[in-house]
């Protein structure tokens, strides 16, 4: 499969022969499994202190016909504080009592990790890469690709040396991504209670720029709204298929595509 390589002005500079990168069948089920596994790996274990609500002298006497019995006293049978003045016979420990323990608190020993085989995950990454070359899947995600020079879009390695936001934006516009830059500027107010919980706005996912080792362009392009820049060595499935929906628009540098295409 021959793919044209564009320079910064949007003209074809050369061609690159790709053998492995876009040959994997698109497996939506496998992509979804990999995304869920990646999300689960990011979760940190949390839980309540096992002794929370239990650090009290409250106890219960359950014998009948006994001087200190707490039966036949017309009170609910639960652990209570004894001989503490105004706190005497105040219920503690049980879940329904003030300052009592929680009935079913989150357990820190719960395992959030979702297992996936290494070969399956590698296959899911290659499948997500193949999905990024399917025009139908890109349009399903909402990308504006009518004016994009070529799908997949590959740019010369000189792109990685750009260190100004203006230069990166101009180069992307020359590649036909002007409509996409305008699309991801849109920001909507979320409906529902999420507005109160630190996620007031909903933003669109734009293209991802995949570089070989472009530290300069990473700093320059991160200020373009909706775009992400990532080295080829750090690709994961959720980056290529946000929300487990494959078909994200990718801008590849020539060196990054060659690295991914290596067997």
Q: Which of residues 88, 106, 124 is at a domain's end? A: 106
Contacts of 159 (CB under 8 A, 6+ apart): 8, 168, 171, 211, 214, 217, 253
> At 37, is the pLDDT very low, low, confident or very high (cuts 50, 70, 90)?
very high
Residue 229, strand partner residues? 209
Q: Which domain holds residue 57?
A: 48-106
Average predicted confidence (pLDDT) for the chain: 92
pLDDT tens per residue across span 87-131: 989 999 999 999 999 999 999 999 999 999 999 999 999 999 999
Same domain, 123 and 168: yes
The pLDDT tens digits of the residues spanning 71-86 come to: 888 889 999 998 888 9
User: Does the structure show a pLDDT above 90 at 242?
Assistant: yes
Q: Could you tell me if 92 and 132 lie in one domain? A: no
Task: Give percent helix, percent strand, percent coil of the chain, each to the nearest 5.
Answer: 35, 15, 55
Residues 206 and 251 in one domain: yes
- The verdict on 214 and 84 lying in the same domain is no
Q: Residue 72 is encoded by which pair of tokens?
A: 């036949």
Q: Tell me: do 176 and 256 sit in the same domain.
A: yes
In the chain, the number of structural domains is: 2
Give the pLDDT mean for 32-55. 94
> 226 phi and psi, to 5 degrees?
90, -15
Q: Greater confidence, 133 or 67?
A: 133
pTM score of the predicted model: 0.83
Indicate if 134 and 189 belong to the same structural domain. Answer: yes
Encode pLDDT of 170-224 as tens digits.
999 999 999 999 999 999 999 999 999 999 999 999 999 999 987 889 888 888 9
């Amino acid at each position: 499969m021959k793919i044209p390589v564009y320079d910064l002005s949007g003209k074809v500079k050369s061609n690159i022969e790709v053998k492995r990168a876009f040959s994997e069948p698109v497996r939506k089920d496998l992509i979804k499994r990999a995304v869920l596994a990646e999300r689960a790996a990011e979760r940190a274990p949390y839980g309540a202190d096992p002794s929370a609500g239990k650090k009290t002298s409250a106890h219960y006497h359950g014998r009948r016909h006994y001087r200190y019995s707490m039966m036949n006293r017309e009170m609910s049978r639960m652990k209570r504080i004894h001989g503490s003045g105004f706190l005497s016979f105040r219920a503690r420990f049980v879940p329904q009592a003030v300052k009592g323990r929680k009935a079913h608190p989150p357990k820190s020993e719960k395992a959030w990790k979702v297992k996936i085989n290494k070969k399956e995950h590698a296959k899911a990454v290659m499948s997500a890469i193949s999905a990024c070359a399917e025009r139908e899947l890109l349009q399903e995600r909402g990308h504006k690709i009518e004016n994009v020079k070529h799908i997949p879009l590959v740019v010369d390695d000189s792109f990685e040396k750009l260190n100004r936001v203006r230069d990166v934006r101009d180069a992307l516009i020359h590649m036909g991504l002007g409509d996409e830059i305008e699309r991801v500027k849109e920001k909507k107010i979320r409906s529902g209670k999420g507005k109160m919980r630190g996620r007031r706005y909903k933003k669109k996912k734009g293209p991802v720029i995949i570089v070989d080792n472009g530290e300069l362009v990473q700093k320059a392009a991160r200020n373009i709204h909706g775009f992400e820049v990532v080295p080829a060595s750090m690709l994961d499935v959720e980056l290529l298929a946000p929300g487990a929906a494959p078909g994200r628009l990718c801008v590849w540098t020539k060196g990054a595509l060659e690295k991914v295409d290596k067997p």
